[in-house]
Amino acid sequence: MNDDGRIVFKVFEMEPHQECAYDHIAIYDGDSPDSITLGRFCGNKEPHPILATSNQMYMVFKSDASVQRKGFLATHSTACGGHLMATDRVKHLYSHAKYGYYQYDHRTDCDWIIEAPLGKNVHLSFLSFQLEYEAECGYDFVEVFSGLDASSPPYGRFCGNSNTTDFISMNEALLVRFKTDDTISNKGFVAIFVAIDRQDSEENLGGEDNEDQENI
C-alpha cells in the first residue's frame, strides 16, 4: 500500500472566476490529466488540503494573457487526515497508510472531513476496529461528528475492539477524528463510506460490485 499524498496551500491568489475558466490550478488523482479530477481552483480563497489515494498527483497551472495575481505556494506531504469526497462508489478509509503491515503510530492526531454532494448524506461503516482499550476511551480513540468540525453533533467516542454501528450524517458532511497517546498501539481501523440519497439513508452500504478504494 502506498503512502497517500497531500497538497496544502499556504498562499493562493489568482484571477477569480465562477467556473475558474481563466487562471486556475487543476489537480488530478494520479500521474496524468486522464486521472480523476480532485478539483479546479482559482480566486483568493486557499483550497482545503487536497488528498490523493496514492503517492502520485498531477497538477496543471494555466493562466491567460490578461489579469495577473500573486500566484500560489503549496507543500506536499504524506500524512493522515484531509478532505474526502463521498460519491456513489464505496471507498475505504484506513487509520494509517501501512494498515495491515504495521500498527498505528503514537501521538497521532488526524481529522478526516468526508463530504457528499449537495442534497445527499454520508454513510460511514467500520469493517475492522482495533485500538487500545480504556474504560473512558481516554488514550487511543475515534470520534465521529455529523458536520464539518468538532462543534457538530457527536455520535460518540470509540476505542478497544468496539462494535461500532453505521453512521449517517444529518447533512452533507461527517468528521472522523483519530487520536492516540504515546504508549500502546494496535492494528487500527478500516471503514467504508459512500454518498446516499436522503430517502435511502436507512439502507445498508452494500454495493461491493462498485467498490473503489481510498487508501488514506
pLDDT in tens, 22-66: 999 999 988 899 988 888 999 998 888 787 766 678 999 999 888
Confidence of residue 9 (pLDDT cuts 50, 70, 90): confident
- Residue 78, pLDDT above cutoff 80: no
For residues 6 and 63, is the Cβ–Cβ distance under 8 A? no
The DSSP 8-state label assigned to residue 152 in this structure reads: S
The reply to whether 180 falls in a domain is: yes
Among the candidates 23, 43, 78, a domain finishes at: 78
Among the candidates 55, 78, 101, a domain finishes at: 78
Same domain, residue pair 87 and 166 = yes
Same domain, residue pair 127 and 179 = yes
For residues 23 and 63, is the Cβ–Cβ distance under 8 A? yes
Same domain, residue pair 58 and 97 = no
Q: What is the CATH number of the domain that holds 153?
A: 2.60.120.290
Domain boundaries, position 160: 82-197
Cα 88 to its chain centre, rounded Å, is 15
Please, what is the average pLDDT of the chain? 85
Same domain, residue pair 35 and 104 = no
Same domain, residue pair 87 and 192 = yes
Sign of the alpha-carbon dihedral angle for 12, 16, 20, 24: negative
The reply to whether 204 falls in a domain is: no
The reply to whether 202 falls in a domain is: no
Listed residue (172, 186, 184, 174) closest to 143, CA to CA: 174
Q: What is the pLDDT of residue 213?
A: 42
Q: Kindly report the pTM of this predicted structure.
A: 0.64
The reply to whether 208 falls in a domain is: no
Query: What is the DSSP code string of 70-108?
Result: -EEEEEEE--S-EEEE--SS-EEEESSTTTTTSPPPTT-
